[in-house]
Copies of this chain bind each other. A is one copy, B any other.
């Protein structure tokens, strides 16, 4: 079993010796599967509560490195594409009822100075991963780490619903400006795959011919091969993203 950086028994001082106090990172990890946009969530047994994967920044660690470390722990993937999108710092997010519930469900004592019961601000990152390559992995407190359809989300703790919505609206904005969508696809893909992805994220439909023209005109795709389907005359071309 994986050794965790932290134990559930830590009080405030234990925590503060290793991590920056009062600062969390929450990650909205997007995957694309079966024409659905998926998000990775942790579940806690006996609580019916779901949460975004997250973690903390070590005393001698850059914030962005902490985010990469946390994402690697939850997906097994290195060098994940990620964007920091917003820092959530409302007092109202300091709702400890959920953590008290989990701690009790695990036979832990929610002592007054337990680090989980402090006020945290949370730096939100969204990540785009290749669904076929990620290996969802639980953390210290969770019982399960699974993909969920963004359109059928379970009840989420604290402001995690709001964090996901903000991540999605940022992703939609970034899709054109930064052309980030490719990170959700395998290395090679057809224009049809790409159109499905755009349509799913933006929740809209495009005309096949105009989508194809617009994307090819950007000059960022490189044709690599024909997809082998058995029906040669129908085989669509495979492309990959071509970095300058």
> What is A's interface to B at a CB cutoff of 8 Å?
20-23, 57, 59-64, 66, 84, 86-92, 119, 121, 123, 173, 177
Contacts and interface: CB of A to CB of B under 8 A. Distances in A.
Contacts of A66: 89
A91 B22 contact: no
A23 B22 CA distance: 9
20 contacts: A20-B22, A20-B119, A21-B21, A21-B22, A22-B22, A22-B23, A23-B89, A23-B121, A57-B89, A57-B121, A59-B119, A60-B91, A62-B89, A63-B88, A63-B90, A63-B121, A84-B86, A87-B87, A89-B123, A121-B123
Contacts of A89: 23, 57, 62-64, 66, 123
A147 to B, nearest CB: 27
Contacts of A57: 89, 121
Nearest to A90: B62
Given A84-B86, A86-B84, A173-B177, A91 B61 contact: yes
Contacts of A121: 20, 23, 57, 63, 123
Contacts of A84: 86-87
A225 to B, nearest CB: 36
